Amino acid sequence: MNDNRPVGVFDSGLGGLTVLKEICKLLPNENLIYLGDTARVPYGSKSRETIIRYAKNNIKFLSSHNVKMVVVACNTASAYALPELLENECPVIGVVEGGVEAALKYGRCKWLRVGVIGTEATINSMAYTNELYKVRPGCKVITKACPLFVPLVEEGWVDKDITKMVAEEYLASFRGEVDCLILGCTHYPMLKGVISKTVGKQVRLIDSAKQTANLVKMFLLKHGLIKSQDSSKGEIKFFVTDSPKRSLEVSNRMLSGINLKYSGLVDIGP
């Protein structure tokens, strides 16, 4: 197995870099292309039709770079657009499936209590709730939209007093009520420390970024698409649709130790 084609990853902005980082850790030899649709961020406040259109444009761009698969590293796009994206010739996976699988493995009991936090659109879609109920109808699911977490992460304020105050406001109701908490936005793993302190260390945090990286590896192995682990270290190309300087500043904070090759500003369509 030595498929040198890149794996494509996209998000509405830069939160999907947490997924990219986990893929790099797990598959350091893979070539990767990241597209951050920074001109249209956030997707979380857009309509379903708009989210689907943006997602299809993102895949079209990545497909033009001959990617062997696409990772939708955006919970909102995964929640609303994935069924339509699966019709694409290029294999596509989202981030909802991995988070749900991890939560269900954590709690074997029928009455598992699961918390889910994400953008307004992700929470309103009920994507996580519906997937959990399909497998574990008796489980309890508590959800909460936490929109202020995204700008706090992008400012690098992961351990500021204001972040702790916001976390307390959003998450206090989860204490003692859930066994695990799905971080249903790819920005949120950057706030694991403050989230864990707020909900209590007895609550297991489900990092969808790590789970998605595991799914990527399993898919590549299963279909004989993985790049040889004996080959050179993979190259990471980085595209955005707006604000390249700001995007690089944020990406360097989020990807400490991982080198991105800034590849340009792109227009992916309306």
Q: What are 156's two structure tokens?
A: 């690098």
Q: Which of 74, 139, 146, 180 is catalytic?
A: 74
The residues, ordered by sequence, that sit 6+ positions from 87 with a Cβ below 8 Å of its Cβ are: none
Question: Can 185 be counted among the known catalytic residues?
Answer: yes
- Edge to edge, what strands does the sheet with 92-93 contain? 92-93, 69-72, 7-11, 32-36, 236-240, 261-265
Backbone angles phi, psi at 229, to 5 degrees: -75, -5
| Angstrom distance (rounded) from CA 230 to CA 237 | 21
Residue whose C-alpha is closest to residue 258's, from 230, 233, 229? 233
Q: Are 128 and 192 in contact (CB under 8 A)?
A: no
3-state helix, strand, coil in the chain (%, to 5): 45, 15, 35
CA distances from 42 to 15, 61, 75, 92, 237 (A): 10, 19, 11, 21, 22
Indicate which residue of 24, 139, 180, 185 is catalytic: 185
Phi, psi at residue 74, to the nearest 5°? -145, 120
Residues belonging to the active site: 74, 185
